[in-house]
Structure 1
């Protein structure tokens, strides 16, 4: 009698000896619920840490470009494609609202893993067919990775929000930061996998690195290994998310059966506070959300800020080696290999350390996340201004430059954590997937356009001076807009 209904219970008779064990696991006894919560937390982190593998494209883009004779512009386009789907989450958000995080995570992680493995079998050819296939598979990888992370992070947000509303398990307020930080560690994890592949490939890998006209075994082995890592870590993590039961964490239980908001949303569409309340206590269709978004200027401000906040670090992430080489002027440095793993660690620190501290400050002092986002955007704008000044004066490579470059990773971690949290707070959990999907369209534009613009600037001036200025202007506008939202 301690067990509550669960979709998996229909499969219990088919499991044989595992019947009793799984039945106990699904039981609602407090100790077993605590065990289920621990398993769920680990599963969310497993899904998240593999969700960022696609961000490691810069680690193997050089061998891929040389072996397939890709132009710098097309390589930048591939880099944009590798992250574009990660942020274009409107379809994933709609699926999340309809089917929940478990089904979305299982399906998305399977798509990402199979696409990664398929990428390793692209034929060696310089024709347009092979290039289109590479672009398509990178898009599928990024779509799958982004949707899987959306499922994991949204589940973590739901747990933290519901527990805060019920004044239970106050430690769960750190769960979104931990899950987001796990994705921040993905590039570091990815670089470790690549180093392992290169060490085990031995002479074949060295020969491929020396002669890119031959068999490109190195990057193929890397991509194939990443695909099997997804199968071995992310897919089981998604399956372990069966411990998540959405109704346990849904807020406003009494409104679960309410119909969608009737159109028009309000007789007076200018009554923003009442309209905002309607978005948080009822389920809305995609058409309802579209109508709301189109009539809310503050939402467009949020989208611009998110576009600049995501596009600038993504440009750095996809061009890190070239950016660092621009300051080194052809000199050798250990930072050429260390920059991305260390940047990934700074990203995780921005998620976990700063995110956890902000969660505690919010509970204790009522810190507003939108104000934090405004300050962080302005801070990153100043960071790019300093980089532009150093580049304009041909400053020698120093620890200051390394610090400024790594600061982009820390700010990126704060952005990835707080923007979804703000959306959840402002627009509610019931329609989080749809609103988050619309905001992620802006991130898709930023993650796609900024690397291409950076490549154009680099080709025109043989440097990134104007790109630093461009990023700083976009971030300054976004930070000012977020501050306006706070005052509004």
Structure 2
């Protein structure tokens, strides 16, 4: 994988810029905080709210279009497109609340924020030398993890300051969130305007250089053909010059991303190992995020700890993101694979999800059992954050930087499937059985399978 050896102040500023963008890209993960307000204000049924949750998550995690934009136009232009989509969609959703329009705008907003996040990851991958790759990717992932808690806190702060306590407050909360997005994008737009001017100048220079090079190449080829006719003895030397010129042209062509070439990743066994792990890590995280209110209600606890769980879930998410970069870099220095760290975390998660399933199946009440349930639900944030950082890092490291956006987009088909399907599956299971422990046992099995598969070494 090609990464920069130098890591100066300019690269540090690029990483900081990526972190700032990521801080607001996890807004769809905080949807559960305002979903009941939207439902009560607009009189939507539970089924539609589940669909809305799933589609916003789908927009966030289905990033093949975002990956294409990233690879084709670069992180700066793609993140600007994503920012415009997110700001416009959230703003329109607060004014037009028909089922069709709110579904479209929330999905588009998810896509915009997902584009911003993939551009942040791509920037970190591009500017980081190998020895700092894990930590830089984890800083971007940590910001994404903290964004859920940040958005929830932003909503709560607005309600306290404004004195707004009704369900209709969700519109103002979204508009306040939009102001933060716009402020960040204004900074980016100023930088991008300068970059576009520089790019235009560079493009003009490149076009002139290309024209000159083509003219020189044609002159060279004509000269070589004449020399071949005149000098039979020098044929081999002259033909080798032609081959060298062709190789230079081919090398330049290979630097460009090719969609057909990126499809070859589907034949790689390592891709499918990452796919299982990504589906599991994102799926279990989305399960808790989307259904934490209903899960906690099923315990019949005398305390409502859902806001605390969501806030600490975000902290656990950020901790998992940060530590995954630190420890995977340390393992890499000692000639170990990053996959080994993720395998260990998956194994621990399998045990914890099994215990959580048992504690959910048990109908006992009490402070002690509630504390353990709370801790284990919060821990899911740790595996969620670890997966969201390590999988993109391993993709960039294993398959290269050239088609990173598309490669990650292919993998995020599985994370978006999890994000869209899990809330519907969990609510379906709950409606039929009245409990959630079955899904917890299933995720326990999936994390164990992921843990074992990650230990399989790729073919040399």
TM-score, length-scaled by structure 1: 0.77
Indicate how the Cα distance of structure 1 residues 362 and 172 shifts in structure 2: closer, same or farther if over 3 A, else same: closer
8 Å CA contact 1:117–1:228 kept in 2: the answer is no
Question: How big is each residue's C-alpha offset from its partner over 1:209-240, in whole Å with a ceiling of 9 and x where there is no partner?
Answer: 4xxxxxx2x11111111122211124524654
Indicate how the Cα distance of structure 1 residues 468 and 235 shifts in structure 2: closer, same or farther if over 3 A, else same: farther
SS of residue paired to 2:455:
helix
8 Å CA contact 1:102–1:238 kept in 2: the answer is no
- Displacement, 1:256? 9.8
Corresponding position of 1:27: none
Matched, 1:134 2:102: yes
- Displacement, 1:326? 2.1
Corresponding position of 2:309: 339
Matched, 1:437 2:409: yes
- Displacement, 1:64? 0.7
Question: How big is each residue's C-alpha offset from its partner over 1:88-121, in whole Å with a ceiling of 9 and x where there is no partner?
Answer: 1111111111111110111111111111111111
Corresponding position of 2:180: 229
For residues 63 and 227 of structure 1, what CA distance do their matches in structure 2 show? 18
Question: How big is each residue's C-alpha offset from its partner over 1:311-336, in whole Å with a ceiling of 9 and x where there is no partner?
Answer: 11012112222222222x15233x22
- Displacement, 1:345? 0.9
For residues 390 and 249 of structure 2, what CA distance do their matches in structure 1 show? 27
Matched, 1:378 2:347: yes
Indicate how the Cα distance of structure 1 residues 173 and 479 shifts in structure 2: closer, same or farther if over 3 A, else same: closer
Indicate how the Cα distance of structure 1 residues 317 and 106 shifts in structure 2: closer, same or farther if over 3 A, else same: same
> Please, what is the CA RMSD of the aligned residues?
2.7
8 Å CA contact 1:346–1:409 kept in 2: the answer is yes
SS of residue paired to 1:51:
coil
SS of residue paired to 1:484:
coil
Corresponding position of 2:443: 471
Corresponding position of 2:113: 145
SS of residue paired to 2:303:
coil
8 Å CA contact 1:325–1:331 kept in 2: the answer is no
Matched, 1:53 2:46: no
8 Å CA contact 1:104–1:147 kept in 2: the answer is yes
For residues 181 and 360 of structure 1, what CA distance do their matches in structure 2 show? 18
Matched, 1:182 2:175: no
Matched, 1:412 2:384: yes
How many residues end up aligned between the 2 structures? 404
For residues 122 and 68 of structure 2, what CA distance do their matches in structure 1 show? 12
For residues 232 and 137 of structure 1, what CA distance do their matches in structure 2 show? 21
After the TM superposition, which residues 62-141 of structure 1 pair with which residues of structure 2 at under 5 Å, given as runs? 62-123=36-97, 130-141=98-109
Corresponding position of 2:125: 157
- Displacement, 1:465? 1.5
8 Å CA contact 1:43–1:240 kept in 2: the answer is no
Corresponding position of 1:390: 359
- Displacement, 1:420? 0.5
8 Å CA contact 2:22–2:116 kept in 1: the answer is yes
Corresponding position of 1:428: 400
- Displacement, 1:379? 2.3
For residues 382 and 87 of structure 2, what CA distance do their matches in structure 1 show? 28
Indicate how the Cα distance of structure 1 residues 418 and 462 shifts in structure 2: closer, same or farther if over 3 A, else same: same
For residues 57 and 338 of structure 1, what CA distance do their matches in structure 2 show? 15
- Displacement, 1:296? 3.2
For residues 350 and 153 of structure 1, what CA distance do their matches in structure 2 show? 16
SS of residue paired to 1:386:
helix
SS of residue paired to 2:108:
helix
Question: How big is each residue's C-alpha offset from its partner over 1:22-43, in whole Å with a ceiling of 9 and x where there is no partner?
Answer: xxxxxxxx9xx94433432321
8 Å CA contact 1:110–1:235 kept in 2: the answer is no
- Displacement, 1:201? 3.1
Aligned match of 2:262 in 289, 292, 297? 289
